[in-house]
Structure formats: structure tokens, C-alpha cells
Structure 1
Amino acid sequence: MYTVSEITDYAFYNLPAYQIFIPETIRKIGKYSFASDRLVKLDLSKMTFDVIPDFCFHDTRSLRVLKLPQYIRTIGYKAFFKSQISHVIIPRTVEIICSKAFCKSSVLELDFSNTHIEIFNNSVFENCSLLKSITLPRDLLQINNGCFAYSAIRELSIPQTLQTIQEGAFEFMINLEKINYKIDKIREIPNKCFNGCSSLTSISLPNSIESIGNYSFASCKFEKIIFPKSLKIIGNCAFKSCSYLQEISFQGINIKKIGEECFCKSIILSKVVLSDTIEYIGSSAFKCTMVSDMIIPKSILYIGKKCFSNCRILQKIDFTSTKKLTKFEDKLFYNCNSLETIIFPENLYFVGQNVFSFTKITNIKLNLQEIDILAFADMDKVQTIDLESSSFKVLSSHCFFRCLNLNSLKIPKTIEKIQENCFKYCPISDISLRDNLIHISKYTFSYTNFEVLDFSNCSKIMKVPMFCFQGSIWLKTVILPPNLRVIKDFAFYECTNLEKIEFPRNLTSIGIGCFGNCVKLESIDMSNLNVSVLSQICLKIVQN
């Protein structure tokens, strides 16, 4: 009579048997050995083998209760993957659980309290959508990537021995309401650690924590969170979409960096107190929050683009003590509809795109070295802008575009170039143009409210480009640059109030439709000109 000591790989794979009797002589079982969708009864409690191999109970759909051998040390990779087993009794001898061991299984509860497991590997309990309760090993040191992600656990107690938590360990545990731990060895909350735990209402961060990773607590249900003094860095999107978070304070915290979108879309966050150690605040960090005012500490070196955009009740922000901040990045205060007051940093030298668009700011006075396109565009409430003491040389494209109430503008004395659409749809009626102006662009003065434009001091301008003054219906008089040589096509098209224009002696070319629909321009004196190129279309349109 033979003694059976081993069950090989796939031995009972998809076997149409409801019950299998296993002899006590078995010392080893193979991969997929019991992966059968019909198996209902199986008792391994008296076996002496010490490894549940990879895929052993993979996709078992009828087996509900299982007693493991009492000397098991290792549970293999995907051993219970997609298994419908609801109850598994874990022997105290278990030391290793491989990745995805219970992943997507139907187990209801697990107790590892008497084991000496030190590491829970990647995704061990991931997508255990019925797992309501688990007791962790008392000697647990490490929880790996995605270990409990998408599981149904409501409460979790972490042992004091824990030293490391890896990325996404508790991600999208949407039923998790409470997590208990008293640990002081963890330095980092990793990326996505509690991301999407939408029922988690509170958490006490260990005093040892120095960094909070990207998306660590995104979409959690916190109303308030207390940060440990040891905290130095908060990663990108760490508290994004925490829609119940009302206040945060970094007072007394040694934090250096708040990452991009850190509190973005935390839609009722109304109170923020920054510490005097913060140096970096990332892009969109406080976007779409309910903060009404903020004092920026003197330690700040950088604030990213869109940081405060769409903060619709932000009324005042104070940079008084900020000496090191030199740039306002793109859309920094974009669509802050209630923002009336900015106390600017003393050493601000750069303004990016759409920084102040759709705010309630009425007056601006700045000393800048550089501006980007659209720098002051869509400031629909601004009335005065004073940049006279600035030193930049280019008024960028769309710089004052649609400043619908702007009635006073002082530009730097250093301006050499004015780019396209710079003043488009601005109601300003007067501007000083100086002798260092070299270049104007197409549409530069189009659709503006200027009545008189005097270029008599601009001796370096040789060309008026296409559409430069198009649609400026209030324009009556233009004094052209003294050394002008070329007026391009449609330059003064539809300047319907233009009455007088004097041409400089050096003018040699006038383009197509240049004075088209200038209905009040009754005569043009070209008697002193030596014009080599004069478009007949230009003359006909004026005559008609």
C-alpha cells in the first residue's frame, strides 16, 4: 500500500467533487491544487505541511469555511485570490503572508493577534469588499503597498511596533471610520495612504511624523486636523477635496513646504494659520477654498500658480513681512471675486499671467522688472494702475486686456515695445509715450477709448503694423512718429471719429484699407510726401 506525501500542482483543479478527504501523510501541496469552483468541504487541520502555496484556493466559489494546518508558516501569493471562503482560522505559527494572498476574496473577518508576522505584503487584503474586521499581529513592523486598499474594514487598530507604512496601504477604504494607534516610530505618511477614505472623520498623527505624502488624506471626512510639531513637508494633493475640513493651523509647526493642490477643493476650509517657517506653497494649494483672509509669513520664498484662485470670499491678503517673495505666478488670485486688498511684497519684481483677473481690486501701484502676457488682463474693477517706477521694457500681449473700468494708467519710462492687444477694450483715454519706444504691434491700440495719441517723441518707430488702431471709435487725432516709413494694411480701419492725421516726411508706404470706414476723415494731405507705395484701395475706401 502506497503512502501519499504530496499533492502536486493543479491536482484537483476544477475537479467536479464536493468533498475531498486528505490523508494526514501529506507533507506538501502544489499550486492551484484546490482551485475548484465545486469544492464545498475540506479539512486540513490535521495536516503537517507548513506552506499554503501560490493560488492554492484561487477562485474557489463554493468553499465557505476552512481550517488551516496548525503548523502553517507561509501563505503564498494569491493563495485565496477571488476565493468565496468567508471564514479562515489563522494558526499562530504563520510568519509570512505573500502579496495578494486574500485579494478579492470574500473573507469576513481575520484574526492575526497570536501570530508573529512582521510584514503585511503588497495588496494582501486589497478589494476584500466583505472584510469587516481584522486584528493585526502584535509584532507587525511593516504594512506594504495597497495592503488594505478597497477593503470594507470599519475600524483598525495599529500595534505600537509598526515602523513603516507604504504607498496606498489604506487607500479607498470607504467604510473606515476610525483608526487607532499609539506609534512613535513612523516618520512618513506615504503617498495615497488614506486616499479616498471618505468615512474617516478624525486621525491623530504621530509626534514623529516629518512628512505627509501626495494624496495621503485626499477626500477624507476630517473637520479639523492637528499637525505634530515635527512636520516639515506636506505633499501634493495631501488633503485635496476634504470637503468637511473647516480649519487648519500650522502655528508652532516647523513645516517648510505645502505641496501642489494640497488643500484644493476643500470647499468649506475657512481658516488657515501659517507658521513663520513655511518657505514653499505649491500651485493651487488653497484653490477653491472659503478662506476670507490670510497673512503670509516672512519666511515665504515661493507661492505657485493658481494658489488662491477661485477663493471666492477671500477679501484681503497681507504680504507685509514677506521680503523674500519676488514673483506672483500665473493666476495666483484668478477669480477671487471678493478680493479688494493686497498688501504687496516689498521686493516683488515679476507678475505672471492673469494674476489679478476677476478680482475687486481697484488700485495697483507696483515697481516691477518683468511681466508676462495677460499680466493685468480682465481686472474688470481696476481703475488706476501705476507702473511708472518699474523697469521692464516690454508691455506684453493682452497686458491690460478688458480692464473695463481702467481710467488711469502710468506705464514705465523704460518701455521699448508694446505687444499686440495690449490695451484692447480698455477705456483709458490718455497715455504718455516716450522716445525709447521702438516697436508697436498689430491690434496694440485697437478698440480703446483714446481720443488723442501722440507719437511725436517716438523717433525710433518706423512702422505702424496691421490693425494697430482698428475699431478705436473715440480716436480723433493721431500724431505719427517723425521717422515713420510704413503704415500697414487696415491700420486705422473703422476709426470712425478720426478727423485729423498728419504724415511725416519719410513715409513711403500706406497699406490696403488703411483708413477704411474712417467716415469723419474728410481729407488727407500727402503733398509733402514721396510715397512710393500707396494702395488705391486705401484711397477709394476713404473717398466712399
Structure 2
Amino acid sequence: MSTIFTSEERKQNGLSLLEKYNGIDDECFEGSNDLVDINIPTTIEWIGENCFKECTKLTSVTIPTTVTEIGNRCFKGCSSLVTINIPSSINKIRYECFSECTSLVYIKFPTSITSIGNECFKDCYNLKKINIPTSIKELGINCFNGCSSLRSIEIPTSISILPINCFNGCKSLRNIEIPISISVIPINCFCGCTSLTSITLPSSINKIEETSFGNCSSLMSINIPSKIIELESTCFNGCNSLTSINISTSVNQIESWCWFNGCMSLTAITLTTRVKRIEEYYQKYKSLKSISIPTSINELGYGYFKGCTSLTRIDIPTTVNIIETGCFKGCLSLGSINIPSSIIKLKEWCFEECTSLTRIDIPTTVNVIGCSCFKGCLSLGSINIPSSIIKLKEWCFEECTSLTSINIPSTVNEIEIGCFKNCLSLKSINIPSSVSQIGDWCFEECSSLTSITIPTSVSKLGLGCFKNCLSLRTITIPSSISEIGEWCFEGCTSLTSINIPTAVHELVKECFKNCSSLTEIDIPTSVTSIGERCFLGCPEELKKNKVIKKLCYGSCVIV
């Protein structure tokens, strides 16, 4: 008689002859929905692969100590199996042996077990407790993946390697002790452990791999041991309760998106001098209040701290020489910043929309202030521009609504488009004789500006240059000016008089439109053309001006 109990034997004789065999064949009871409990006789020495797989009504199994081997996937998908005692005769639990046993609550391993196979308890949703004896030296990949009810687990020092995805998706896991025998936290090891609030890593850990703590949404703190030399990409991705983290002096590589992406509760970051480069992955961290930049960093790159709306303080070391485009854009709480003398460039949009920034001292080493650099800095009351600057770029101080005065050094030769546009509190400005060009819209909407003197070095006033400067009463236009752009003085409702130099040959369209207080204008005979709606909305008195009388036709209206 064969010593293997097969599915054919079962069909013919049921379980009555099972005790006459010493082994149960592969797939013997697979998918048997009528099997509720089974007491395996002591004659059986081994149970084949898939033997009880998907016996969905099986609630209990008694395995005698005579059994020394349980095959791969033996109890996989036994969704009604609540408990199981593994006999001391078993030394290895094989691949997927109890995976998808969704009713399994507790399992106790005998001290004879040395190895737990890949995916052995994967997706055992109700498994709440498990003991791992010191005899176990190996855990398989995905071993406890998806055990969403597992609350705690102790890993013995006999285990030296944690496998990939070992506790991935263990949503109820609140605490875990990692033994000193472990040196690497592998890929996805604790990913999705959403109840894990803190974890203490032993001093033996030297590497934290990709997404190892990804989406641990309750994790508030973690220590980085001194032996850590590498934090891989996304290792703390999505830890949105993490408030602070200290990087040890041993870390020399923080990969892209290491732990910044999605760590929206992070309030403080301390980096060490072993870190040579940081990426733009602090962007939009709205809880980040402070960060210390180590002396190993020489550049703050594109958009590094963009949108960090709670950032109040940052220490920039003297090793940094460039602050790149948009670096602090939208840092709404940044009240002040110390720019070290090592900085040579402040790039475009660098401090744009830093609405709490009240003052900033720019060192003389800075030779470039990029376009829109301080745009929208609503609280900026004063700023010094060093003599190293030769050009004020486009929109540089646009919408600095608290800026009352500014001193432009004699080294500046050009003020570009919209530089001081919408500086609503700007009352006075000194334009040095070195300036040869004032760009379009340069002082548009500077509604508090009362007077301005333009040096003889300037030959042209750009489009809309003083448009809607509501408080501008007087302006001296030097003889060097040969061109006044369209809309240049439109809406200057306090302007009472103005002189046009002899070098000007044309007053272009809408140039003085809605200058409702303008009663006196000196127009030289050199002016041969007045454009459409040039004096629209100006007082009736201007009709008496001889040049206007001579040159204004139907298109040049005074109302």
C-alpha cells in the first residue's frame, strides 16, 4: 500500500484510512469547503504543498509531533482558521504557509523553528500577537506584510537581517524593538505602519533603505544612530506627523526625496557637515520653523525652501556663495535673514512673497539681485543696496508696500521694468546720476511718492513709468529727456504742473490722461505731435495752452 494519502484515496474512503499513511499528498484537501476541523494522526510525518489551501471553513488543525515538514502554501487562504499550534518537530515554516489566513489571531512557534519563509503570514489581517523565539535566525520577504491587526512584536537578537517588506502595512503596530544584531532597515520594511509613533534604532544600524518608514503617518520622532552613513530615497516619505529629526555626523549621503516628501509636520531640521548637498525637497513644508545649514553646503539651490510658510529662522553659513532662483519664495513667516558676506548672487524670485520680512542687509559681495527678488515683501520697510550692484532688475521690489525710502548707490546704471511698481508707501527715492535708463512701469502705483528728481543722465522715461502715482505733486524732467512713454503720468491726480524739455518732439497717447489737478504745463515748440487722449480727464484750463490748442484735434480730448 502506498504511504501517501492522496485526493483519490480521500474521495473513495474519506478520512477513515488517513492513519494508515505516513504522508499527505500535495493539493490533497485543496479547496475542500466541507472540511471544518482535522486531527492529523500520529502516523503522518509530512504534509505536502497546497495540502489544505483555501479550505475556507477549516477552523482548527491538530498537528502531531510526528510531522517534521509542512509544505509551501499548506494552509494558504484558510480564512476561518483561528489558531494553530505548530509542533516542536517542525524546524522550518515554508513559503506562504499561512498567508491569507484572515481569521488567524494568534500563533505560537516552538523553539525548534529556525526559519520563517517568504510571505508566510502575509495578509493575516486579524493576527494580533506573535512570538518569535530566539531559535529563529531567518525571516522571509513579506513575512508579516499586511498583518494589519498586529500590535507588537519582539525580534530576537538571533536575527541579523530584516527582509524587504517584512512589516509593510502593519497598520496597528505601535511599538517594535529592533535588536542590536540588525545593521540595515531594508526597503519598505515598516512602510504603512500608520500607528507607529516612535521607534528607537539601535547603534548598529548603518543604513536606512528606500521607503523603509514610508507613510508611517503617526511617527513623530526617530533617532538616527551615529553609525548611519546613508539615508536612501523616500525612506521617510509621507511621515506627516514627524516633527523633528537630527541627522548624525556620520551621514554623508541623503538621497533625493529622502525623508522630506510629505513630512508636513516637520518643524526643525538639523543637518551635519557630512552632508554635501541638499535638494529642493523642503518645498511647501508648512510646519518647518527652523533649519540649520551646515558649512559643507556651498549653494542653496532652486526653490529649496519655497512655500515653507512657517519658517521663521534659517542660519546660512559663510560657505554658501549663491542663493538660487525662488529659494525662499513664499516663506510667509520669515521675519529676517542674515546673508553672509560669502554670497555673490541673489537669483530671481529669491525672497518673493516673504510677506513678514521687515529688513534685510545685503553684503557688498553681492553683485547681482535677480528679477522679482523681493517682489511682494509686504513688510519690508527698508533695504540697503550695496555699491557692488550695477543694475536693479525687473520687478525687483514690486509690491513692497511698506517700503518708505530707498537709497540707490551711485554704481547703479539701470533701473529695469517695474522695479518699484506698487510700492504704495514709498515717499521718496534718490536716483543717482549714474542711472541712464528707467524702465517701463518702474514707479507705477507708487501712490505715496510726492516728488522725484530725475538726473540728467537719463534720456528716456518708459511706458507707464509714473502711472497712478496719486501723491506726486512735482517732478523735474531734465533737459536730457528726449522721449516720454505712453501712459507715463496717467492717473497722477495730484500733479499740478510739469515742464517738458526741448529735446522732446512728441507727447504720446494717454501720457497725461486723468491728471485731474494738472493746470499748468510748459510745452516747448519742439513738440510737433500730441497723441490720442493725451490730456483726457485733465482740467479745462489746459485748453488755453497755445501748443495744445495748435496740435490737439478731435482725438486729443480734454474733459
Q: Same fold (TM over 0.5)?
A: yes
Q: CA deviation at 1:101?
A: 5.1
2:354 maps to which residue? 310
The residue correspondences of 1:264-279 to structure 2 (distance < 5 A) are 265=308, 267=310, 269=312, 271-279=313-321
- For residue 296 of structure 2, the aligned residue among 235, 254, 269 is 254
Structure 1 distance, partners of 2:309, 2:211, is 21
Kindly, what percent of the aligned residue pairs are identical?
A: 15
Q: CA deviation at 1:131?
A: 0.5
The residue correspondences of 1:53-92 to structure 2 (distance < 5 A) are 53=96, 57-58=99-100, 60-67=101-108, 70-72=113-115, 74-76=117-119, 80-81=122-123, 83-90=125-132, 92=136
- Residues 272-330 of structure 1 deviation map (CA, whole Å, 9 limit, x = unaligned): 43211112335253712353453433234334525363352x4432122433x402442
Structure 1 distance, partners of 2:235, 2:508, is 57
Check the 8 A contact 1:281/1:302 in 2, yes or no.
yes
Structure 2 distance, partners of 1:394, 1:439, is 11
1:452 maps to which residue? 497
Structure 2 distance, partners of 1:120, 1:414, is 72
Check the 8 A contact 1:473/1:497 in 2, yes or no.
no
The residue correspondences of 1:279-290 to structure 2 (distance < 5 A) are 279-282=321-324, 283=326, 285=328, 287-290=331-334
Structure 2 distance, partners of 1:83, 1:481, is 93
The residue correspondences of 1:165-314 to structure 2 (distance < 5 A) are 165-188=208-231, 190-191=233-234, 193=236, 196-198=239-241, 200-201=243-244, 203-209=246-252, 211=254, 214=257, 216=259, 218-220=263-265, 222=267, 226-238=270-282, 241=285, 243=287, 245=289, 248-250=291-293, 253-259=295-301, 260-262=303-305, 265=308, 267=310, 269=312, 271-282=313-324, 283=326, 285=328, 287-292=331-336, 294-303=338-347, 305=349, 307=351, 309-312=353-356, 314=357
Check the 8 A contact 2:92/2:114 in 1, yes or no.
yes
- Residues 401-434 of structure 1 deviation map (CA, whole Å, 9 limit, x = unaligned): 2212212334573454612465223422214255
CA 1:142–1:61: 2 relative to 1, 3 Å: closer
Q: CA deviation at 1:168?
A: 4.5
The residue correspondences of 1:270-419 to structure 2 (distance < 5 A) are 271-282=313-324, 283=326, 285=328, 287-292=331-336, 294-303=338-347, 305=349, 307=351, 309-312=353-356, 314-323=357-366, 325-330=367-372, 332=374, 334-337=376-379, 339-344=381-386, 346-347=388-389, 349-353=391-395, 355=397, 357-366=400-409, 367-368=411-412, 373-389=417-433, 391=435, 393=437, 395-397=439-441, 399-411=442-454, 413-416=457-460, 418-419=462-463
Check the 8 A contact 1:268/1:289 in 2, yes or no.
yes
Structure 2 distance, partners of 1:39, 1:272, is 57
- Residues 176-204 of structure 1 deviation map (CA, whole Å, 9 limit, x = unaligned): 34433433342457457265453545535
- For the residue of structure 2 that corresponds to 1:134, the secondary structure is strand
Q: CA deviation at 1:376?
A: 0.8
Check the 8 A contact 2:237/2:257 in 1, yes or no.
no
Q: What do you get for the CA RMSD once the two structures are aligned?
A: 4.1
The residue correspondences of 1:528-543 to structure 2 (distance < 5 A) are none
The residue correspondences of 1:43-122 to structure 2 (distance < 5 A) are 43-44=85-86, 47=90, 51-53=94-96, 57-58=99-100, 60-67=101-108, 70-72=113-115, 74-76=117-119, 80-81=122-123, 83-90=125-132, 92-98=136-142, 102-103=145-146, 105-116=148-159, 118=161, 120-121=163-164
Q: CA deviation at 1:156?
A: 1.7
Check the 8 A contact 2:50/2:71 in 1, yes or no.
no
Stretch moving more, 468-477 or 232-241:
232-241
Structure 1 distance, partners of 2:402, 2:189, is 43
Check the 8 A contact 2:393/2:417 in 1, yes or no.
no
CA 1:150–1:430: 2 relative to 1, 3 Å: farther
- Residues 255-286 of structure 1 deviation map (CA, whole Å, 9 limit, x = unaligned): 223453538546373x5432111123352537
2:13 maps to which residue? none
Asked if 1:440 is matched to 2:485, the reply is yes
2:183 maps to which residue? 140
The one-letter amino acid paired with 2:58 is A
The residue correspondences of 1:495-510 to structure 2 (distance < 5 A) are 495-496=538-539, 498-499=541-542, 500-503=544-547, 510=553
- Residues 454-491 of structure 1 deviation map (CA, whole Å, 9 limit, x = unaligned): 44434464x622x3322111222442783544622x33
TM-score in terms of structure 2 length: 0.74
Q: CA deviation at 1:253?
A: 2.4
2:471 maps to which residue? 427
CA 1:67–1:510: 2 relative to 1, 3 Å: farther
- For the residue of structure 2 that corresponds to 1:66, the secondary structure is strand
Structure 1 distance, partners of 2:169, 2:458, is 64
Q: CA deviation at 1:377?
A: 1.8
CA 1:346–1:493: 2 relative to 1, 3 Å: same
The one-letter amino acid paired with 2:128 is S
The alignment covers a number of residue pairs equal to 498
Larger Rg: 2
Check the 8 A contact 2:459/2:480 in 1, yes or no.
no
The one-letter amino acid paired with 2:496 is E
- Residues 63-86 of structure 1 deviation map (CA, whole Å, 9 limit, x = unaligned): 111346924354239x52372211
Q: Gaps spanning 5+ residues in structure 2: where?
A: 5-22, 28-48
Q: CA deviation at 1:395?
A: 1.5
Q: CA deviation at 1:145?
A: 5.2
The one-letter amino acid paired with 1:464 is V
- For residue 4 of structure 1, the aligned residue among 12, 18, 24 is 24
- For residue 515 of structure 2, the aligned residue among 444, 469, 472 is 472
Q: Gaps spanning 5+ residues in structure 1: where?
A: 518-544
Check the 8 A contact 1:485/1:506 in 2, yes or no.
no
Check the 8 A contact 1:165/1:190 in 2, yes or no.
no
CA 1:474–1:153: 2 relative to 1, 3 Å: same
Check the 8 A contact 2:284/2:305 in 1, yes or no.
yes
Check the 8 A contact 2:216/2:239 in 1, yes or no.
yes
Check the 8 A contact 1:278/1:297 in 2, yes or no.
no
The one-letter amino acid paired with 2:222 is I
